[in-house]
C-alpha cells in the first residue's frame, strides 16, 4: 500500500498497466487482484508503526546495476518507503552478484527485478510455495499443490482454475509486490505491418510481418 504502482510504471518503465498478481495483464491466466492492496500510504504508515520496528533499523535494497529501469524503480520505492517510516538504503550490485546473493542465496531485504522468458505458467510459477525453491522463500503448501497439479493437466479450463487459486493466494500473501505490465513501443515504416514484440520472451516476432501488404 506504500507503493504508487502507476507512478513507478510511468517513470521507470515508460508506462504500463498495474497488476496485483504474478501474471502479465494480457496473459490468458491473468487474474485481477489490483483491488486487494490499493495505494494508501497513510494506512501503510499506520501498519508499519504498529510493528514497532526499531528506529535505527536499516533495510537494504539490492538492485542489479545493469538494469537502469529497475534501478530507477528502486529509487522510487526508497522514497515511497521513507514516507511511510522505513529506512531503506540502496546497494547496487553487478548481475553475477545479484544472481549469487539474491536469486540463489536469498540474502537480501528488498530487491527489484522483472520476470519474463516463460511462455507457460508452469515456467513462471513452478516451485512457488516451497520455500527451498524460490528466492522469496514463500511457504504455502496449498499453492504449491495447485501449481504442481496444474503442470500435469492439459485442459485449459482445469489449468486456469488450479493456477487461479494459486495466483489468488500469491496476491493475498504478497511474496512479491506485483507492479504491472509495461508498455512495448514499436516504431516501423508505414509500409510495414504485423511486427510485434513478445513481452513474455522480450523477443522480436517477425512471423506475421508484411511489406506493402505482402
**pLDDT tens-digit map of 159-196:** 999 999 999 999 999 999 999 998 877 788 889 888 87
Q: pTM of the entire structure?
A: 0.87
- Domain range summary for the chain, segments of one domain joined by +: 5-116+168-183, 189-214
pLDDT at 58: 97
User: What number is the average pLDDT over the span 72-83?
Assistant: 98
| DSSP-assigned states of every residue in 42-99 | HHHHHHHHHTT--TT--EEEEEETT-HHHHHHHHHHHHHHHHTT--EEEEEE-HHHII
Domain 5-116+168-183, architecture per CATH: Roll (3.10)
Amino acid at each position: 500500500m506504500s507503493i504508487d504502482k502507476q507512478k513507478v510504471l510511468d517513470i521507470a518503465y515508460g508506462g504500463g498497466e498495474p497488476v496485483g498478481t504474478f501474471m502479465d495483464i494480457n496473459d490468458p491466466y491473468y487474474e485481477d487482484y489490483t483491488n486487494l492492496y490499493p495505494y494508501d500510504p497513510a494506512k501503510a504508515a499506520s501498519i508499519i508503526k504498529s510493528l514497532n520496528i526499531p528506529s535505527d533499523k536499516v533495510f537494504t535494497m539490492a538492485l542489479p546495476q545493469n538494469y537502469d529501469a529497475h534501478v530507477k524503480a528502486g529509487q522510487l520505492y526508497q522514497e515511497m518507503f521513507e514516507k511511510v517510516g522505513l529506512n531503506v538504503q540502496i546497494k547496487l550490485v553487478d548481475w553475477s552478484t545479484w544472481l549469487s546473493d539474491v536469486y540463489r542465496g536469498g540474502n537480501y531485504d528488498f530487491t527489484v527485478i522483472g520476470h519474463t522468458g516463460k511462455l507457460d505458467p508452469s515456467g513462471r510459477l513452478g516451485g512457488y510455495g516451497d520455500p527451498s525453491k524460490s528466492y522469496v522463500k514463500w511457504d504455502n503448501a496449498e499453492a504449491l499443490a495447485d501449481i504442481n497439479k496444474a503442470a500435469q493437466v492439459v485442459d485449459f479450463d482445469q489449468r486456469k482454475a488450479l493456477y487461479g487459486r494459486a495466483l489468488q493466494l500469491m496476491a493475498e500473501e504478497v511474496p512479491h509486490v506485483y507492479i504491472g505490465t509495461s508498455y512495448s513501443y514499436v516504431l516501423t515504416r508505414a509500409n510495414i505491418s504485423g511486427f510485434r514484440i513478445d513481452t513474455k520472451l522480450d523477443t522480436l516476432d517477425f512471423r506475421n510481418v508484411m511489406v506493402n501488404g505482402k
